[in-house]
Structure 1
Amino acid sequence: MLDQPLIKIVLLLAVVVITAMLNRSTADSRHQAVRRLLLIAFVILAAMAVLFPRLLTQVAQFLGVGRGADLLLYGLTVFFLGYVASSYRRMRHMEQQVTTLARELALRAAIHDAREHPRPGSGETQGD
């Protein structure tokens, strides 16, 4: 593995970090703080890539990538995959919440209907 370009190690580590972040709970404030820090880092790196394109090329060559544009593409691909996985996870969580709420509403409606319109022979009388 030592003879491989450094970019392969960096990209694999990025995928592992994104996977680990996606497997953690998203309910705590620490996770939200990490997401905000990553967003700030992304904005700073994007601005630096625009302002100093030669620096991006130098970093790319250091990592074993020929051009800065290729490095940018690799990075955006990793972040896009992380975004898609995160969005999928968030959507699944919302679907579960909607299902739970729909079940609760259906049960409440059924209980309300049963109280308003008791079935004959159920032991309840209209005076109850």
Structure 2
Amino acid sequence: MQFLVQILLVVAVIAFSLVLMRGASNARHMAIRRMLLLAMAFVAVISILFPAILTTVASWFGIGRGTDLVLYGFIVVFLIFMATTYQRFRQVEISLTKLSRRIAIDETPRPWEGPEGSPQTGSNPRIGG
């Protein structure tokens, strides 16, 4: 039964990693993302198949159990995720503000143009016509 659970977890880690590898803003980010995901997937698969190794690594850091090491690792990863998501959200918010301002300026009626956006015809009160 444990072997079946391990196989399912390994398949889930691989599938999740493949999904996360898709799409990135540029080639450099894509390469960094792929390397980190492959490293994380490798560590996850090894820790699933050989849980005793995780406990050994935890003892090197002075942590009693491998599960505690995983918890601490998830806390660190979550904090990094929150920081990067916040930065990305701020950039999107700034871009949206700039775009909204540009649209507002572009759609503002101009008194020197007619209702269809073409110059007004007829007499000009400044010229006296």
Percent identical among aligned pairs is 40
- For residue 72 of structure 1, give the secondary structure of its aligned residue in structure 2: helix
Name stretches of at least 5 consecutive residues in structure 2 with no aligned partner: 1-23, 125-129
For residues 17-46 of structure 1, give each alpha carbon's deviation from its aligned partner in whole angstroms, at most 9, with x where no partner exists: xxxxxxxxx965323321221112111111
Aligned match of 2:121 = 126
* Alignment pair present for 1:35 and 2:33: yes
Q: What is the distance in 1 between the residues matched to 2:58 and 2:39?
A: 18
Who is 2:9 aligned against? none
2:47 counterpart of 1:49: yes
Q: Give 3-state SS (helix, strand or coil) of 1:66's partner.
A: coil
CA offset digits 1:93-116 (Å, max 9, x no partner): 000010010001011101xx2123
How many residue pairs align between the two structures?
A: 96
* Structure 1 segments (4+ residues) deviating >4 Å: none
SS in 2 for 1:116: coil
TM-score, normalised with respect to structure 1: 0.66
Q: Relative contact order (alpha carbons < 8 A, sep ≥ 6): 1 or 2 greater?
A: 1
Letter in 2 for 1:45: V
The structural deviation recorded for 1:64 is: 1.2
- The letter of the residue matching 1:126 is T
**Bigger radius of gyration:** 2
Over the aligned positions, Cα root-mean-square deviation in angstroms equals: 2.4
Higher helix share: 1
The answer (yes or no) to whether the contact 2:55–2:66 under 8 Å persists in 1 is yes
* TM-score, normalising length: structure 2: 0.65
Corresponding residue number in structure 1 for 2:89: 91
Match of 1:72 among 70, 73, 85: 70
Which runs of 5 or more structure 1 residues have no equivalent in the other structure? 1-25, 118-123
